[in-house]
Chains A and B, each alone.
Chain A
Amino acid sequence: MAEKRTIELDLATTGLDPQGRPVRVPLAPEFRRPGATAVAEEEPLLGGEHMLLNLGPQHPATHGVLRLVVELDGEVVVRVVPHVGYLHSGFEKLGEYRQYNQIIPLTDRTDYLAPMSNNVGLTMAAEKLMGIEITERCKVLRLIACEMSRIISHLVWLGTTSIDIGAFTPFLWTFWQREKVYNLQEMWTGARLTTSVTRVGGLMADIPDGFTEGLREFCRGFPATIDEVDRALTRNAIWVGRTQGVGVLSAEEAINYSLSGPMLRASGVAYDVRKDRPYLDYETYDFDVAVGSAGDVYDRYLVRLEELRQSNRILEQALDRLPDGPINVSDPRVILPSKRAAMSDMEAMIFHFKQVMEGVKAPVGEAYFPIEGPKGELGNFLVSDGSAKPVRWRIRPPAFINLAALSKMSEGHLLSDLIAINASVDIVMGEVDR
């Protein structure tokens, strides 16, 4: 259990009793059943009579098609056996039959709450494999894509988790802001979900007119919403009581379970791929990595809330430095020539033909490229045998690996806490099952 922490509360309770257990607010005397005792007293366990409860795969609180088989002792969780795979689509297998650029639409559908950062992750791995250096403008635009994705993913998380725990209003605020980012995303890529915004060596399209102004306006207004959620939840007695000391993982355990992203940082491990294995020039941006200390659901909430603020900061800096110039590398073996050139220039037409018919060939070798996705370390591992299609495409799925710690986190908690813990993992089944 986490140590008791002092938090200034708007209501009367600290949320935890001296033993560190969440306090259940006592009913007023007139509502108490005659003979019922006060709250903190242990109720006798129903010795031996465990219950098997099947939760999901169709259940709103499991965030998709996760199925949990839960062994209950009264209301206390004894064991959780997660069943995944209901959304398995075999993306990795499909990728072995596709050229590198043709894999990009598959990545949209893995973590479908943050498609643009998946696009970036895959193309960065392919470029590492092929030794392609992307242009400055492309770097900044990809970084904008990554941070926009982080914001929408965290906003979905915040909204749905608050609903899971019983607060409805933050859901409306966060989805309203998410809609604004989605509009920008649609403006840029033409799609809200299946963005496929990157290409090996560049981008599908440059940003349209009015995009930077729109994003700036969003960045100006967005912190007010974070503050609003902050005011509504951070010192709210119900929120604190439902989240503090729940689902605790120590730093050692978090590392041992290979957790990444906000899950790992909430346990006090300051590992952020953007800082520790920088890409897209993240090391030149001024931002802080949010790190928790208790490793409970509350700290995961605080970490993600802070990451929203930091992402907003990064976006503002990226807009300030966005350079002019081409978005694609000038290598005709990788980037399709313009329609005009392909129709009038013989050489361009040959390159066009070869790219369309044969695809972009990668040299023999393999590359693992991690990025800091919204859920954690999103790795793409590509192995090439010299042909235009990878021998093996592996996604290191952060949500899948984070979910593996669910059983460990929820043992001994109440069934209702299991919902809060599961929400705190921030899973998206498209990525868990792939």
Chain B
Amino acid sequence: MNPSAAALKERFGNAVSRILESCGDTIVYVAVGSAREALRWLKETREQEYDYLVDITAIEYRDPEQPIEVVYELFSLKRQTPLRVKVPLSKSAPLEVDSVVPLWNGANWLEREVFDMFGITFRGHPDLRRILMWETYAEGYPLRKDFPLRGRFSRSEQLRQALNASPEAHYSMEELSIAQTYHELPIEMRERLSRGERGKVPETRSDG
């Protein structure tokens, strides 16, 4: 058992709800309210020094009663010790947790991926957009257990949407604001953008 778990419990008290060991890895459960502070403490405290963020991911269990867990895999390069911190998120509340991008820049894409795949919002993330799926993807969050393996829409519907997508949807509004790009777009594209259509998915056909 990694002694950091007990130290974290001593420092954060009831916010640390569970400590357990699985396959030799120590796992600490931290309440969502104290998650970022606990991670900051683990990173910056002298005897802890978990300076390397290995991974951020999430787990949804097959049992729908169980909360979704956000998993932070930490490693101390100085002490060569791993530690796994988990933040359980109840499905009855909004899935939200504080972003750790202020602590580790490497968390940027990892949190975007968790958002993309599980729909968990990271508060304070500088650029929380979908990353692996495209921005106008409307079928939901693929790694959630209620998401069917083949996706929510039929193949024909997916194809129809892909063919109907407007070309400017491949650029974010921020990218289009670079220089005078926006003003150089063809008129119909600008009109679509001024109507706020970017990012909007074409309506599903009722007979589809």
Q: Contact residues of A with B, CB < 8 Å?
A: 49-52, 69, 71, 79, 81, 83-85, 88, 90, 92-94, 97, 128-129, 131, 253, 255-259, 269, 271, 276-277, 365-368, 370, 377, 379, 381, 383, 385, 391-392, 394, 396, 400-401, 403-405, 408, 433-434
Contacts and interface: CB of A to CB of B under 8 A. Distances in A.
Contacts of B23: 128-129, 131, 365-367
Given A258-B54, A366-B59, A396-B54, 19 more contacts: A49-B179, A69-B171, A69-B175, A85-B130, A92-B117, A93-B143, A129-B23, A255-B77, A256-B105, A258-B107, A276-B77, A277-B82, A366-B23, A370-B54, A383-B59, A385-B61, A394-B57, A396-B73, A403-B109
Interface centre among A49, A93, A97, A277 (most CB of B within 10 A): A93
B53 A258 contact: yes
Given A258-B52, A396-B55, A404-B106, A85 B133 contact: yes
Contacts of B60: 391-392
A257 B149 contact: no
20 contacts: A52-B176, A69-B171, A69-B175, A92-B143, A94-B149, A255-B51, A257-B104, A258-B54, A258-B110, A367-B22, A368-B54, A368-B55, A368-B73, A368-B82, A391-B61, A392-B60, A394-B57, A403-B109, A404-B105, A404-B108
Nearest to A276: B80
Interface string B42-68: 000000000111110101111100000
> Majority SS of interface residues in chain A?
mixed
Interface residues of B, number: 49
Contacts of A131: 23
Interface in B138-158: 142-143, 147, 149
A93 B142 contact: yes
Instruction: Name which of B109, B142, B171 has the most chain A CB atoms within 10 A of its CB.
Output: B109
Contacts of B110: 258, 401
Contacts of A94: 149
B194 interface: no
A255 B149 contact: no
B172 interface: yes
B131 interface: yes
A255 B52 contact: yes
Which of B54, B63, B149, B181 neighbours the largest number of chain A CB atoms within 10 Å of its CB?
Answer: B54
Contacts of A51: 178-179
Contacts of B174: 81
B179 to A, nearest CB: 4
B163 interface: no
B175 A81 contact: yes
B25 interface: yes
Nearest to A400: B109
From A255, A277, A405, residue with most partner B Cβ within 10 Å: A255
Contacts of B134: 85
Contacts of A394: 55, 57
Nearest to B171: A69
Contacts of B147: 93
List 6 tightest A-B contacts by C-beta distance, closest first: A258-B106, A85-B132, A50-B179, A404-B109, A367-B23, A365-B22
Contacts of B142: 90, 93
